[in-house]
Amino acid sequence: MYRRTFCLIGIALVAAIAQAPPSAGRGNPLSSKNPALPANLFTSASTLAHTSLRHEWVDIPMGKEKLHTWIEYPAGEAKAPLVLLMHYDAGLDDLQRAVADQLAADGLIADAPDVLSGLGPKGGNYDSFSYPDEALRTLAGMKPEEALRRFKIAFDYGMKLPRANGKGANLGCGIGGTNSFRFAAEAPTLSAAVVFYGMPPDPAEMARIHAPVLGLYGGDDSAVVATIEPTAALMKKLGKSYQSHIYPGATHFFMSYQVEGRNGEAVAQAWPAAVAFLKQALK
């Protein structure tokens, strides 16, 4: 098992840590978490270790296998909307579970399935991979239809949780964002979909979307940014709701690498926008 972070974090990040004065404390974005935003690479593990929110692993029946799923609840016992968290390319690591923790802190039930369940060494889950690149390759080789099938199983389970209030949405980053957009065409009861720097589905899939979609993108992510205008035009033509925001100077994976360039600035704007969008749609 490996520590669930990327091994290569970039020279700029290492230099930032080395140069940060000991007294930086809360002012150092590498070593402190803004309570209103998801944790970064450096604070995700401690965020999970110190959360006061109720959380649990459940193994959802999936044919002959089990779908290992992290579920985290808002404070209190009141019913709440469900958000299906569709993990990014590297798998359901600490960073992604810290996103689930933030969703719960924002008053939403976070339902985060490990799509690599049963696909690791000796039939293990995400945490059975020895190295991050092994998990990346395995997920990259999964057919989109299989990923969506697994997410659908987790969504249906989550919607039946005792504290779920019957309304559900989804959110994902990277490949999770792509799956989030596609899932909006597969789940007719979905109330909203949030896409962090994901690619759009094909026109036939877009035609089946009923839920409003919010896309959040980094301005320096040229391959993804090139899809936004055509997507907006087609969604409008199809009579679908699609909003998008582009954050100048932000890169792909800006939610993960929050101290790179203007990524932190993007996260500070994009996360509140995503939560506000979800809460409006899930009323």
DSSP per residue, 37-85: S---TTTHHHHHHH--S-EEEEEEEETTEEEEEEEE--SSS--EEEEEE
Q: How confident is the model at residue 220 (pLDDT cuts 50, 70, 90)?
A: very high
Report CA-CA distances (Å) from 135 to 43, 98, 114, 129, 140. 22, 19, 11, 6, 8
Structural domain includes residue 6? no
What is residue 29's predicted lDDT score, i.e. its pLDDT? 62
Structural domain includes residue 3? no
Contact 212, 282 (CB under 8 A): no
The predicted model gives 239-250 an average pLDDT of 98
Task: Give exposure, 19-43, as e/b (b: 16+ Cβ within 10 Å).
Answer: eeeeeeeeebbbebbbeebbbbbbb
* Both tokens assigned to 175: 């490949």
| pLDDT > 80? residue 198 | yes
Q: In total, how many domains does the chain have?
A: 1
Q: Which residue do the tokens 């490990």 mark?
A: 114
Short-list 268, 267, 243, 274, CA closest to 253: 267
Q: How far apart are CA 7 and CA 218, in angstroms?
A: 23
Q: Which domain holds residue 271?
A: 11-281
The predicted model gives 132-145 an average pLDDT of 95
Length of the chain: 283
Instruction: Decide which of 115 and 261 is more confident.
Output: 115
Our CA dihedral for 186, 57, 92, 161, rounded to 10 degrees, sits at 30
Q: Which residue do the tokens 């296998």 mark?
A: 65
Structural domain includes residue 47? yes
Q: How confident is the model at residue 30 (pLDDT cuts 50, 70, 90)?
A: low
Structural domain includes residue 179? yes
Structural domain includes residue 15? yes
pLDDT digits (tens, 9 = 90+) for 42-89: 999 999 999 999 999 999 999 999 999 999 999 999 999 999 999 999
CATH number at residue 108: 3.40.50.1820
Structural domain includes residue 191? yes
Structural domain includes residue 216? yes
